[in-house]
Structure 1
Amino acid sequence: MESLPPHGTPILVVDDDEGLLLSIKATLISAGLPEPALLSDSRRALDLLRNRRYQVVLLDLMMPYVDGMELLTRTREEFPEIDCVVVSAIDDVPTAVRAMSAGAADYLVKPLNGDKLVALVQSHIEKQRFREELSHLGHTKIFSNLKHPEAFAGIIAEDEAMALVFHQAEAVATTDYSVVINGESGTGKEMMARVIHRLSQRCAAPFFAVNMAAFSKTLFEDEFFGHAKGAYTDAGADRRGFFEAANGGTLFLDEI
């Protein structure tokens, strides 16, 4: 089975179960999402990816000819910009971890929950749109174009590269996505994280900066997840972990 919408689509579904392909198609269309391309022969997947533009690929783990793990690996190697979602009847943690380690963006277990499938596909399409917006910012941005220049008052910057970083910070602050900030020690990563927090809808909630280098493996669980009174010998009272304390706000993990 090979069904390709005539006007293109951002979604490709690869599964040898044709009934499931049609079910996924009906679920996505009924939710207002684009009609997906459907493919039951995994040997054709890479050719389609090379000749058509997709943003999200849902692929079965257990398929004849080319199995899902091999197809996932080859897709991620050749098309790292595509979000790959593994769909499998295998519901165990080691398999999911192996898939995520190979580059899967998500792991769904059959039988599929329609609401969860729709929400996940919508999320990945939105992330792809957001990535494209960031890439289109270019290096022509200047500081005078910032919507909230006052938010960056404590950061000294003059060149176009930093202007681009400021514009990206304003853009990601409007989302709930996790953000990775790279930079040498002392370049202001925490300051930028605080700017993003102040510009976000989470600004009224707490901001916690945590130095990860300060915690040993044995302390990590207690510091981040907390404990209940009496959980162990020295636990004389309930203690909130960082995850609970920062709930609704921002948790900045430094020195990872």
Structure 2
Amino acid sequence: MDSSDLRILIVDDEEQALKSFSWTMETAGYSNLMTCQVSADVLEILDKHEFDVVILDLMMPKPSGEELLPVISSKYPHIPIIVVTGVNEIESAVECLQLGASDYLVKPVDRERLIASLSKVFEIASLRQENVRLSQAIISDNLNNPGAFSRVITRTPAIQRIFQYCEAVAKGKSPILITGDTGVGKSILAEAIHTVSDRSGNYVNVNIAGFDDQHFSDALFGHAKGAFTGALENRPGLIESAVGGTLFL
């Protein structure tokens, strides 16, 4: 999931505020936006469209944001609500959070503060999407890419379920930990995960056993020519070599 996939509804009765929020978000990569200037239309919009977050102004004509907040929170509990208001009062902030708001921002909203709040929502939405994918993979008995796992010969249902799990997590952005004794096939599984991930970069596999801190740092990050005695040329690190792909340590 990319930031451009995050579906955002901005609700504010001031046209200039809508333009300002939209510009701020678009410059940060959040381009899937819908704006609403009439608060009475909000619930109908939410009924017709799917959103990952609602940015809600409190001070609007009937119904106000204060009236909409508990309704949206109750009817759509899975949608985070970021409240924005010109009122900088602790009591108001606490009340909004108790009514279901995930964050409380005071106008004029600081750009970095808004982006940080959206980033938190983006992480939650990405995790939710990954959980759905995992659930579907666990329910399914089929592999979408059986060829990627062809180096492992098995008829065991438990191993098949591991393959299904690998397919489900492969397209996510979270690091994956593979454990097991020497020789059980960790590197084979890692390469299979890379294959089904559809990543365009390289699969880089390196055994770091026996590396001291200096060698490990140099291997990961590389070095520039002349950085230390014996550094006769630039050498890219493993991280650079695996950009857009998979690094298996």
Interval of TM-score (by shorter of Structure 1 and Structure 2): 0.5 to 0.7
Q: 1:52 and 2:49 equivalent?
A: yes
Q: Deviations over 1:30-72 (max 9, x none)?
A: 1111242111100000000000010100001111011112111
Hey, what does 1:106 align to over in structure 2?
Answer: 103
Hey, what does 2:28 align to over in structure 1?
Answer: 31
**Matched residues in 1 for 2:10 and 2:131: separation?**
27
Aligned mate of 1:125, from 122, 126, 150:
122
Hey, what does 2:150 align to over in structure 1?
Answer: none
Q: Deviations over 1:160-213 (max 9, x none)?
A: xxxxxxxxxxxxxxxxxxxxxxxxxxxxxxxxxxxxxxxxxxxxxxxxxxxxxx
Contact 2:6 2:30 in 1 (8 A): no
**Matched residues in 1 for 2:116 and 2:36: separation?**
22
Letter in 2 for 1:120: S
Contact 1:28 1:35 in 2 (8 A): no
Q: 1:85 and 2:76 equivalent?
A: no
Hey, what does 1:74 align to over in structure 2?
Answer: 71
Contact 2:5 2:30 in 1 (8 A): no
**Matched residues in 2 for 1:16 and 1:9: separation?**
22
Letter in 2 for 1:134: N
**Matched residues in 2 for 1:143 and 1:66: separation?**
54
Query: 1:76: how far off?
Result: 1.0
Contact 1:61 1:69 in 2 (8 A): yes
Return 5+ residue gaps in structure 1 as ranges: 1-6, 151-256
Letter in 2 for 1:80: P
Query: 1:9: how far off?
Result: 6.3
Query: 1:136: how far off?
Result: 2.6
Structure-2-length-normalised TM-score: 0.53
Give the alignment of 1:172-183 within 5 angstroms: none
Give the alignment of 1:167-246 within 5 angstroms: none
Helix, strand or coil for the counterpart of 1:137?
Answer: helix
Aligned mate of 2:8, from 11, 16, 20:
11
Letter in 1 for 2:66: M
Contact 2:53 2:121 in 1 (8 A): yes
Contact 1:59 1:84 in 2 (8 A): yes
Contact 1:25 1:35 in 2 (8 A): no
Hey, what does 2:151 align to over in structure 1?
Answer: none
**Matched residues in 2 for 1:8 and 1:127: separation?**
13
Letter in 2 for 1:101: Q
**Matched residues in 1 for 2:103 and 2:18: separation?**
18
**Matched residues in 2 for 1:55 and 1:17: separation?**
22
Q: 1:116 and 2:108 equivalent?
A: no
Percentage of identical aligned residues: 32
Contact 1:33 1:122 in 2 (8 A): no
**Number of aligned residues:** 144
CA shift in 2, pair 1:8/1:42, >3 Å: farther
Helix, strand or coil for the counterpart of 1:33?
Answer: coil
Structure-1-length-normalised TM-score: 0.52
Taking only aligned residues, the RMSD between alpha carbons, in angstroms, comes to 2.3
Return 5+ residue gaps in structure 2 as ranges: 140-156, 166-176, 181-249
Contact 2:6 2:122 in 1 (8 A): no
Higher Cα Rg: structure 1 or 2? 2
Write out the 4+ residue segments of structure 1 that deviate beyond 2 Å after TM superposition. Answer: 139-150
Contact 1:13 1:21 in 2 (8 A): yes
CA shift in 2, pair 1:70/1:138, >3 Å: same
